[in-house]
Structure formats: structure tokens, C-alpha cells
A and B are shown apart, each in its own frame.
Chain A
Amino acid sequence: MSTVIGVVTFPGSLDDRDAVRAARLSGATAVRLWHADNDLHGVDAVILPGGFSYGDYLRCGAIARFAPVMESIADAARGGMPVLGVCNGFQILCEAHLLPGALTRNQHLHFRNRDQQLRVSSTGSAWTNAFAAGQELLIPVKNGEGRYVADARTLDELEAEDRVVARYVGVNPNGSMRDIAAIRNEAGNVVGIMPHPEHAVEELTGPSVDGLGFFTSVLKHLAGAPSLQPAATA
């Protein structure tokens, strides 16, 4: 029985189908989860996809974090279930305080969609252990509210504990502090990432296939590969 990855759909989620496709391409079985259903149906990992849940009303992810499924996910995450929040999913994870900091409006005030160079700065997470430390990836980034902010203490803590998972290389597309593109929680099972790895899984439609590594990582992790303690730093 292959690994089952659940992809949550909120009203307004847009990249859930792409996350499902990416999960399948990586070899997992993908299952769609509905926001109002707090049963996780036995999935092994969860992806909160990108999109405009609830129209991004009030703040991105502010309303989605109160969905019934989020309570179950929070419990499961505390129990070690791998959770990947992509873009809007990252925003939801921060609003739900499963990850520190917050995502705010892009510094230049525009929605920006471009193919972005990233560097993997930590392989010590359930979602990046398949990469080499310092590996560079080309992944699309597309958001209007992707600027990661946190107070200096939190940022120092993230860096000291090797919890910055990926950083922007070249031009910072949204003004994120310290070029942070992705972070993880202390245990390493919860990762939030602003760019969209699920859009870089096919040569035909993406700028590269570098995104697959995120999904194969979680398969490795669930298969028992030790990955949660930071081994090498970028």
C-alpha cells in the first residue's frame, strides 16, 4: 500500500489539483480532503495547497485556519504527521500558529509570477530530505502576499536551529526577510513554502522538475529514513 497524501480543498483553493498530480507523480496515492470534514481518513501526510481560500478576505488564510480539518491537522502535526503548506497553505499554517511569523503583502505591491531560483538551506525536514544540502532549484513563485516577516528574535532562532528550509537566490521576488522562502517547525515535520513545487514536476508544463524532490522526500521520510534532526547545514 503506497503512501497516502491528503490534499485539502478549502473554498477558493486553486492548486489542489496540481498538488494531487505532483503527489501522484512522485509515487504516492493522493486523496482529496474537504475543509469541513475533520476526518483525515488515515492519510500519511497532508498538503495545504495554494490558492485564494475564502477569497483571501480579511487576511490570507485567516478564515481557513478555523476550518474543522485544521484542528485535526494540528493534532496530527503535533503527533509528527508531515504537513506541507504551499503558498496559501503556508499562510494558513502561520495563521494557525503551527509555524512562526507571518506572510504579508509583497514589498512591491504587485502579484508576481516568475520562475525563481531557490537554494535548499536545510535538508532536515520531512519535505526536503531528498535534496542535497545547498542544492539549487528552479521553482515558480506566484503570489501577492508572500513576504515573510517575523521579529528578529524569531528569525535568529530559525536560522540558529537550521529551520530555514529554502531561501531565494538572485532576486528576492517579494521582499521576504532574510530571503526566506520556506521554513520548518522544530520537529521538522511541518514545512511552509511560498513557491510552488507542484508546478515544477513536469518538463512540459513547468520550468523544471525540481519540485518533485519535495514530494519524494516525504515518501522517504515516511518509509523510515531518518530526516528530522538537522544533519548538515546549508
Chain B
Amino acid sequence: MVDGPERDDETPTGETPAVEPYAPPPSPVSYEPYPPQPHASDPFAPEPEPYPAADPYPASDPYAASDPYAASDPYAASDPYAASDPYAASEYPREAYSAESGHNSDHDSDHDDGYPVEPTASAPVDPYAASAPVDPYAPDPYAASDPYAASDPYAPPAPDPYAASAPDPYAASGPDPYAASDPYAASDPYAASDPYVPPASADEPAEVMVGHADPVTDEPVTADIVPITPEAVATPEPAYEAEGEPEPYVAPEPYAASEPYVAPEPYVASDPHVASEPHVEPEPYVEPEPYVAPEPYVASEAYAPPVPDSDPEPVAAVTPFASAEPAAEQSTVESESQLEFEQAWLGVGFDTVERAAATPRERQPYVALGLQPDEYDRIQQVLGRRPTESELAMYAIMWSEHCSYKSSKVHLRQFAEKAPPSDRMLAGIGENAGVIRITDRLAVTFKVESHNHPSFVEPYQGAATGVGGIVRDILAMGARPVAVMDPLRFGAADHEDTKRVLPGVVAGIGGYGNCLGLPNIGGEIVFDECYQGNPLVNALCLGVLPVGRLQNKAAAGPGNLVVLIGAKTGRDGIGGVSVLASATFGDQSEQRRPSVQVGDPFMEKLLIEACLELYDSELVVGIQDLGGAGLTCALSETAAAAGTGMSVNLDLVPLREASMQPQEVLASESQERMLLIVTPENLPVVLSICARWGVLATAIGEVTAPEDDGGRLRIWWHNSVVVDVPPGSLADDGPVYARPMRAPLDVELMLVDRAETLPRPETGDELRATVLRMIASPNLCDKTWVTEQYDRYVLGNTVLAQPEDAGVIRIDERSGLGVALSVDGNGRYARLDPYHGAKLALAEAYRNVATTGATPVAVTDCLNFGSPEDPDVMWQFAEAVRGLADGCQELGIPVTGGNVSFYNQTGATPINPTPVVGVLGVLTDVAARVPIGFSSPGDEIFLLGETREELSGSEWAHVTHAHLGGRPPKVDLPAEQRLAGVMADGARLLSAAHDLSDGGLAQALVEACLRRGLGATVALPEDLSPFLYLFSESAGRVLVSVRPGERDALIALAAERDVPCAHIGTVGAPGTPVVVEGQFELPLDELRAAHTGTLPALFG
């Protein structure tokens, strides 16, 4: 596995070329504009090779001394927490490091500020570098240990220390271990000049001259005489001490060189003691034949097929300009002849602009790609000709629902129109993710996205790539991802297919998120039959960034380079684009199978670190992640955002499969890729940083200035232009539909079918049984089986995670600044009334965040609906968006970004409209956060908010009666705001707080008790029946506990804010039961068994 230095085996016999100084391999820094980058991310390099390409500290790295990032701390520059590091100030002053610039600008290597020192700027001794002129007579310390030295008969040998005259090209270089027993010593033509005298016996050590003749006196210089013993030669000592340098060469066993040296037959140097055995006359020495390279294959004649009777089919002649019939055996690797072929036969192989202009009436499968006839006409108008296949693919992708939001744009405008003024929002809708400033120097970014359909097909990879996609969106804003959450919705819990989908989805989210090192701090698991054929996998990611590091996606600056980094591009997710079957060599349709997207979290982890280092070094002009729609989306959006054009050479995109067509390369959804815009001066450093992290980076094009009326995106493939479009037409000018809407015919019917009229439990025993049944039901049961598969601790800043109301992440260790996040949705409420259902989802997320003591500041949403071509669904969507926009306006917090997922339906049946809303809040001191679990016996329990008779759409109606009907609970956003104010101001008074939502008070009470294992005694107020108090799902309510001394303060605070506040009970001792006075008693063990047993029983 370890090779010696390369030798030139073309040395003509008898000549001694100068010993070439060993040139270290080129440093990973390349100064060529489009260098072919080796895939340096190969983790399978078992032996530490000398100066591997991915080695960040090669001795020859010109940046080693001057590069402030050469410090071996990979995180020093990109650490957003560094400025807030509470331990920094105690060691050394940190003025040299500022969080904004992220530069270790004055990195003084004497400073031990907790980061490793830089490697010494002076290159350590390079045993292979001929730094000093090589002394031709000095003994080569490696000669004996070089396995190839003796085996290569053409090696320019290290000068033979035993030869006084011209070195013998055939002599083993270095001390000849067999010289002592060499039966040919007498017949050796160099023997006369060879001062070596064979010893009388093998035991007697021979004295030889190691050294050289004095050039003046021609006397041997005896200073270097070293007695040679077989043992000394057998174990050559390394000539240098490796100091701070990876041992570049591991000498194999001595005399390993002896095995391959067989060229001069029949001398076999295997046993040094052979001479002591009875002498056997060996065969005479035969000079080996000089090496003659085989004749290069010249295909001057057509290949003559073999005799016909043995070969049924004659092989076609391989001549460059043969007929257009596909050659079945033609390799798809682009060889010279193939290139010529394709150029000569424009149109055969791939569609170019030139050809498109020449063949305007060629029919194209635009319908199969999802384009309408009027859209196809519009494309022709924009381009002035028919689109090429690649252009058609790009338009089909960019104008699809998924990318253009054509059905939803008209409604989503409300988020901008009704947006409450916010001075915190640094980036909003339209960007990769919304960015909210939380201090002068720090900002957070968060967004939720869906990956529903792929997760039904392949649960693990669908969910994993969903997490990967949202993480890259956060990364593209310049943030370090710090947490993830996942609202998940599946079909019936006991359905067979759920057993297939749920474990796969959970394992995929865990597998990907855990490997990236992102704590999973919350989410939802909801079961409902409507999701049976269409599970919902939404993923949220939170990131943190210094305000100065905010990135954008504009490809600004004509002349700047377009760099693609990350994984190679394959056929992932091409889907419909593969219907574009161009005529090519041979029928390769099988090779063109689109493949399921497979995520590689390790590659994404490297990508994150590389990108953050690039941001901190301010090397990035623009950045865009490649998600759905891959390169198409990235190239067009970045160019359109800046109003510039782009020239891209698609041949430079590193491909996983050589047979890909240009439209496939453009449509590929291969994961873990980002697109950077960098200035040409910065390209070498960008490439070296990527190489250090093992991330493939390739410059594939450049930004061009706008022409006439805008920029042009031009893409080349095999020296032909295959795409020449205005990027704005792809990214911004997609179709906008105002789809017909109609309230579903059953809306009125459902609204009057109220759950308040259903039979309800009356007696204490019935209530007791209902509580047990409810807490064990799939939607309300303990979700530890799932959440245990996620890492919540990594990064060490998770203050609260599931099952708490909101996930709380500490942002600043010194000040305790943190953020709280919650994602909530309720498909049943939205089915009954989309407008209010969306508002209720917003209210729930808002309340969850406020319950921890945080102040809500921003909203994100993921709108999961059925087919927009269904007027019922479109009405639901419009209503939900209107409700959400109105709600945000009332609450005064803006929607910063989100996602729409349409076509979630099974056959003709859409899912319940499921707007999922995420709310982010700020906690000035995470130590003040309020958890959900009762913690101290004797604490007073209060119920804040008003309870009404509201059972429609409730979990009780669903579990007990499988009923869905009536009006969802009333939503009163001003009341929610007042309640949030109490929670924020009262955070330090409260010992526990848990908001009420699904399952009502019973659920909240049981969860609060089971969390820390304390019981409680509760006396329900008299104004409503105990049943209603326990199971009604009125909004705007929180269950809190206070230390006895604080109760008056709480009552006063609630009164001041006009929030109803009722004292309902007292926290009990550990292990005591939950008592509802006058009704029932439930021991904690029984509660725990019911609550925690459901999921393990279902999923194992």
C-alpha cells in the first residue's frame, strides 16, 4: 500500500541521470481557474501517506505560515459562541478575536488562549526533499529499505558506495546484503574496481570502505569506515528523527526488496548463507532484455470481425463518422472519438440551442413534464425559439408547483401585505430562511420544510434527506445549525403500513440529525387516518449567526466564479425529467434509472464546517443550497437575484455516473451540495479550505454582465450551448394561478354536528377510566419511544427538550441568552374551520413558547394540503393562509418564511388541511425558563385562562367517539397575548408551567405530575362539570405551579393582566397519587404504565 518514490524506467542503459530531487506533491492550493479536483473526501485512506492531498498541514503548503486559519483548531474562526465564551476573558484578552469578523487577525502563537498553536512555519525536515545538493557518494539511507530499489533494473541507482567508478546500473543500490555470499563476485565486471573483498567466511564481518576517494589525493577517505555486519545491514536505522511530522514512510521488513528482484535470472538472492552450502554450479548469468514498450494501438484499419460462424453478429466498424445507428457496445465515457462524433452530429446525443433554432417544429413531451400548452407557448415567446431539451427540463422544474408556488403565491402575498412591522427581521420570505436579530451582534434563523412524498416511498431516506435539506437552507444564510425539530403525522397507529413508515422515518431523522450533531429538541407525533397514504414529515432547523455573517444568494459581480461544492451529482430524484430520452448511442434507458435520494450526513457535516469557515473568512459573495430542483434552481435563482447572467460549463460538474445527459445533470437532486459565488482572487483559498475538510469543490462557471434587457444564463455541454435563457424567466416569472375555490359542501353539515352533544362520562369512575384511556391513546401517549432515538445533548446548549412545551436552546453561555421554539398544528381543527384552525395552530405555538418564559418574536409555517386542483382544498388553503396572516398581524409577529406542500392526498381524498406553525421566542436568561414538571411538594397549582364547553374537534371526541364535527375552540389572540405577558413577567415566580392543548386539563395535569414523579391534589372549580374541566380544549390556558410564598404575587400579576386565575390544587409528595377531589384517585404507577406503554407495544 505504500509506494516508494516514483522512478523513471525509461533510463537508457549505461547512463546515470542526475538523481532527481523528490518533488513533494502539489499543495492542495491550485492556481488554475478550473482545476480538476481529486475527490479528497475519501475517508478510506488507512495509511497516513506522505503529504496526502487532504492533509491540511503539508510541509509544502505555502499558506501554512501565513494562513491565519492554519491554526489546527477547525472551529476557532467559525465559532459564533467564541465571543461569548465565558472562559475566554479569564485566560487572555480576546481583543484579537471579534465575533463579527471571526478573524484570528492577530493570532499570536505565544498566546495560549485555549486553542492549539499553529504548526511551526518552518517546514520540518523533509526526508524526500533534496534540499541540499545530493552527495552522489553519500550512502543512501533508504536504499536498503526501499522495496523497489532492488527490483527495478532500470532505476537510476543511488550511487553504489561500493563502486569506485561509474555506478553499475544493475547493481543493487546501496549496500549489497548478498555481497558477502555473492558467488559471482569474481565474475563481476566491476570487481576489479570494487574494493569489496569477500570475507573468508560468512561469520567474519567484512571491513569495507564507506565513503569516497579524496578528489585531490585519490586516497580513500577513511573517516567513514564502518564495519558492516549482516545484522547492521539487516536493520537499517532511520536517518532522521521524525519530529512533529507524520512518519511518511514505514520501512517494510528488511530484504523485502529481495523478493521482487528477479530480473537477472537465475540469481535468486534469498539466503545469504547459500555460499556455505555445497557449491552448486548455477546457470550462467543472462542479461535481461531491454524493455520495449508495447506498440501503441493504432486503429488504422477497421476492426475485422472474427470468423462469422463463431460470431453471430458482426461488430460494427468503429470509425468516427459511421452511420447514426447506435453502437451497442459503445462506452459512455467521453472519449475523443465520441466527442468528435457528437460534435459532428449535433442533435444526436443532446439537444443544443443551435439545433433548437434549426428545428422549430420538433415535438417535445412538455405535457409529460407537467407544463401546460400556454406555458409552453410562453417559453417559446421568451426564448424566441423552441426550448432545447435541457431548457425544457429547467422550465418544467422551475415552473412546477414545488418550485414556483404557482397555486399559492396569490394567497401567500398576505404574509407580506399584512406583515406587522418588525425591526428584527434581517431576511424574510423569499430567502432561504428567515433571519431574526436577537442582540446587536447575534441573529437566529429558522424555517420548517416538508418532505412528505419521499418519506412515504422510502421512509428512512425520505426523512433523512428532509432534515438534510432544511439544514442546508439554514447553512445558506450563514448560520451554524444548532437544533432541529420534527412535526410528524402518520396514519392510524395500529395500521400495518404505519409500522413500516413510522420506524423508518424516526430512524432516518435520528440517523441524519444525530450524525450531523444537531440536538432534536421537539416536534410532534400525530396519528390520524387521513394521513395513512400520505404521511407528513416536516422538519425544522434553527441556526445561529453573527449579524455580520449573513449571507445572500445573489450572484453579484460579473467575472466572479461559480463554484459547486459537496457531493458528486448523480441521478437522484430526476423523476419525470428522464422522460426526455434523447437519441444517443445505444439504448441506455436502464442505466438512466432515477434513483432514490440517499443522504450522507457525514458529507453534510463536512460541508457545514467548510461553509462556516468560508463565511468567516469572508470568501463568499453569494451562496445557495441545492435542494429540490438542484442545479437548475441554484443557477437561475442566484443569477436572477442579482440581475446578472451566468456562463456555466456543465462538463465540469463532477458526476457519479458518466452517462448522464445535461438535463439530468441540471435536474439532479443529489444531496449535500452548495453553490458559491466567489471572486477569482479568492478561488485558490476557497478550494484549499474545501480540500482541508474533504469537500469536493469545482469552479463550473462565471457570472456574466447583463446584456440588453437582463442577464442570460448560458450553459455549455460538450462545447455546445444547451441552455441560453434569461434567468429571471425561470426563477421569477413562473406562472401564477388563481385557482378556483369553493367551500366544501359538507362544511356546514360538519359545523352543526357538534361534539358537545355526544354522551359523556359522568361518574368519578367513568372519568377515571376516561383519563386512563385518553393518556394511553396514540396521540396523547408518551412519545419517549420516538424521542429516545434522537440526540438531545450534543452541543451542550439544550436547556429544554421534548416533552417540554418548547425546545429551549442557550445561545450565549455568558449572558444566558436563549431562544425557545415550538411547532404545532391541528389538522382536525383546520378541517372543521381552516381559518380558525390556522389561528389556533398559531396560538398554540405562541402559547407554548410563552409558557417557558420566552417572548415570541417570529413565525414560520409549513402548509400541508391536498391537491390545489381541488376547489375544496384550494378554499381550505386560502382560508388557512388568511387566518394565519390575520393572526400574525394581531399578535404582532411576522412570518419570516415557510413552505407549502400540496398534493398530499390518497387518490381523490385529501388529507385534513394541516397548517403547521412554528414560533420562535427569545429568552433573555435561559436560567429563568419554566419547565412543565411539578418539582416541589406543597407548591400551589393554578389554572390560568378561561375554560368553556368546547369539545368539538377535541381528542376526547376522537378517542371516545371517533367523532369530528362542530366548531373548533374559540381563538382569542389578545387573551393569548395577555397570558403570554403573565408568563414572561412571572417566569421567576413559577416553578412549573404547562400549556393546555390536546386532551385538555387532564392531559396537562398527568404530564406535569409524571415528569418528575410527584402527585397532586386538585379540586376543580364548580362553574362547569368536572368532565368539561378535564377534557374541554379551550384555548388560552396554562397550568402553573408556584411556591407558596409567591402565590399572591401570581394572583396579582394575573389580575393586572386581566387573565383569569383559579387556584385548583396543591402538588403532592413524590410517589403520591393524582387526586381529583370528589372524583377519583390515580396512582402514578398506573398512570405511567398506561401513558408509556402504548408506543412500545405498537412498534417494539
Q: Do chains A and B touch in the complex (CB under 8 A)?
A: yes
Residues of A within 8 A of B (CB): 6, 9, 11-12, 14-15, 17-18, 20-21, 24, 29-34, 36-39, 41, 51-52, 54-58, 63, 66-68, 71, 110-114, 140, 142, 144, 196, 198-199, 202, 204-206
Contacts of A199 in B (CB 8 A): 793, 796
Complex contact B789–A14 (CB within 8 A):
no
- Residue pairs across A and B with CB atoms within 8 Å: the count is 147
Nearest A-chain residue to B602, judged by Cβ: A55
Complex contact A111–B510 (CB within 8 A):
yes
Contacts of B91 in A (CB 8 A): 29
Complex contact A17–B602 (CB within 8 A):
no
Contacts of A38 in B (CB 8 A): 244-247
Complex contact A11–B694 (CB within 8 A):
yes
Partner of B116 from A41, A51, A54, A112 at Cβ < 8 Å:
A41
Complex contact A204–B74 (CB within 8 A):
no
Q: Is B511 an interface residue (CB 8 A)?
A: yes
> How near does chain B come to A111, taking the closest CB pair, in angstroms?
5
Bound-state CA distance A57–B74 (Å) is 22
Q: What would 5 more interface pairs be, CB under 8 Å, given A57-B44, A63-B43, A112-B788? A: A24-B87, A34-B116, A36-B55, A58-B44, A110-B789
Contacts of A142 in B (CB 8 A): 514, 791-794
Bound-state CA distance A12–B717 (Å) is 36
Complex contact B72–A32 (CB within 8 A):
yes
Nearest B-chain residue to A203, judged by Cβ: B927
Contacts of A17 in B (CB 8 A): 75, 795-796
Complex contact B796–A198 (CB within 8 A):
yes
Complex contact A113–B791 (CB within 8 A):
yes
Contacts of A11 in B (CB 8 A): 43, 602, 605-606, 693-694
Complex contact B47–A66 (CB within 8 A):
yes
Contacts of B516 in A (CB 8 A): 14
Contacts of A114 in B (CB 8 A): 788
Q: Is B115 an interface residue (CB 8 A)?
A: yes
Kindly identify, within residues 989 to 1025 of chain B, every residue whose CB is under 8 Å from any CB belonging to chain A: none
Complex contact A204–B926 (CB within 8 A):
yes
> How near does chain B come to A165, taking the closest CB pair, in angstroms?
21
A to B CB contacts below 8 Å, 23 in the list? A12-B605, A14-B795, A17-B795, A17-B796, A20-B114, A29-B112, A31-B112, A37-B57, A38-B246, A39-B119, A41-B116, A52-B602, A52-B605, A55-B43, A55-B603, A56-B602, A66-B47, A66-B48, A113-B788, A142-B794, A204-B926, A205-B797, A206-B793
Contacts of B605 in A (CB 8 A): 11-12, 52, 55
> How near does chain B come to A61, taking the closest CB pair, in angstroms?
12
Complex contact B72–A52 (CB within 8 A):
no
Complex contact B72–A34 (CB within 8 A):
yes
Q: Is B594 an interface residue (CB 8 A)?
A: no
User: Most chain-B CB neighbours within 10 Å: which of A6, A30, A66, A67?
Assistant: A66
Chain B contributes a number of interface residues (CB within 8 A of A) equal to 57
Complex contact A57–B602 (CB within 8 A):
yes
Bound-state CA distance A81–B120 (Å) is 24
Complex contact A196–B793 (CB within 8 A):
yes
Nearest B-chain residue to A42, judged by Cβ: B117
Kindly identify, within residues 72 to 98 of chain B, every residue whose CB is under 8 Å from any CB belonging to chain A: 72-76, 87, 91
Contacts of A111 in B (CB 8 A): 507, 510-511, 514, 788-791
Nearest B-chain residue to A70, judged by Cβ: B48
Q: Is B799 an interface residue (CB 8 A)?
A: yes
Partner of B246 from A68, A198, A202 at Cβ < 8 Å:
A68
Contacts of A113 in B (CB 8 A): 788-793
Complex contact B87–A37 (CB within 8 A):
no
Bound-state CA distance A140–B798 (Å) is 13
Nearest B-chain residue to A13, judged by Cβ: B517
How does the 8 Å CB contact mask read for B780-805 relative to A, with 1 for contact and 0 for none?
00000000111111111111000000
Contacts of B116 in A (CB 8 A): 6, 31-34, 37, 41
Nearest A-chain residue to B786, judged by Cβ: A110
Nearest A-chain residue to B603, judged by Cβ: A55
> How near does chain A come to B74, taking the closest CB pair, in angstroms?
6
Bound-state CA distance A15–B517 (Å) is 8
Complex contact B794–A18 (CB within 8 A):
yes
Partner of B796 from A21, A32, A71, A110 at Cβ < 8 Å:
A21
Complex contact A54–B602 (CB within 8 A):
yes
Complex contact B57–A36 (CB within 8 A):
yes
Bound-state CA distance A17–B87 (Å) is 13
Q: Is B828 an interface residue (CB 8 A)?
A: no
> How near does chain B come to A26, taking the closest CB pair, in angstroms?
11
Bound-state CA distance A56–B514 (Å) is 12
Complex contact B799–A204 (CB within 8 A):
yes
Bound-state CA distance A55–B517 (Å) is 11
Nearest A-chain residue to B813, judged by Cβ: A21
How does the 8 Å CB contact mask read for B1058-1098 relative to A, with 1 for contact and 0 for none?
00000000000000000000000000000000000000000
Bound-state CA distance A51–B514 (Å) is 8
Bound-state CA distance A110–B507 (Å) is 8
Contacts of A56 in B (CB 8 A): 515, 602
Contacts of B76 in A (CB 8 A): 32
Contacts of A20 in B (CB 8 A): 114
Contacts of A58 in B (CB 8 A): 44
Bound-state CA distance A111–B512 (Å) is 12
Contacts of B797 in A (CB 8 A): 205
> How near does chain A come to B466, taking the closest CB pair, in angstroms?
18
Bound-state CA distance A29–B791 (Å) is 27
User: Most chain-A CB neighbours within 10 Å: which of B44, B116, B793?
Assistant: B793
Q: Is B126 an interface residue (CB 8 A)?
A: no
Given A31-B116, A57-B43, decide whether A39 and B789 contact each other with a Cβ distance below 8 A: no
Complex contact A112–B515 (CB within 8 A):
no
Q: Is B454 an interface residue (CB 8 A)?
A: no
> How near does chain A come to B868, taking the closest CB pair, in angstroms?
38
Contacts of A36 in B (CB 8 A): 54-57, 246
Complex contact A205–B517 (CB within 8 A):
no
Nearest A-chain residue to B796, judged by Cβ: A18
> How near does chain B come to A101, taking the closest CB pair, in angstroms?
22
Complex contact B117–A41 (CB within 8 A):
yes
Complex contact B114–A63 (CB within 8 A):
no
Bound-state CA distance A199–B245 (Å) is 34
Q: Is B375 an interface residue (CB 8 A)?
A: no
Q: Is B437 an interface residue (CB 8 A)?
A: no
Contacts of B798 in A (CB 8 A): 205
Q: Is B657 an interface residue (CB 8 A)?
A: no
Partner of A110 from B56, B73, B788 at Cβ < 8 Å:
B788
Q: Is B882 an interface residue (CB 8 A)?
A: no
User: Most chain-A CB neighbours within 10 Å: which of B72, B76, B514?
Assistant: B72
> How near does chain A come to B599, taking the closest CB pair, in angstroms?
11
Partner of A51 from B46, B87, B517, B600 at Cβ < 8 Å:
B517
Contacts of A33 in B (CB 8 A): 72, 116
Bound-state CA distance A36–B43 (Å) is 12
> How near does chain A come to B987, taking the closest CB pair, in angstroms?
14
Nearest A-chain residue to B43, judged by Cβ: A54
Bound-state CA distance A161–B33 (Å) is 62
> How near does chain A come to B1042, taking the closest CB pair, in angstroms?
21
Given A21-B796, A66-B47, A199-B793, decide whether A52 and B515 contact each other with a Cβ distance below 8 A: yes
Q: Is B459 an interface residue (CB 8 A)?
A: no
Contacts of B386 in A (CB 8 A): none
Complex contact A37–B793 (CB within 8 A):
no
Contacts of A30 in B (CB 8 A): 114
Please name the 5 residue pairs, one residue from A and one from B, whose CB atoms are nearest each other, closest first.
A55-B602, A14-B517, A34-B72, A18-B796, A199-B793
Nearest B-chain residue to A4, judged by Cβ: B112
> How near does chain A come to B789, taking the closest CB pair, in angstroms?
5
How does the 8 Å CB contact mask read for B181-210 relative to A, with 1 for contact and 0 for none?
000000000000000000000000000000
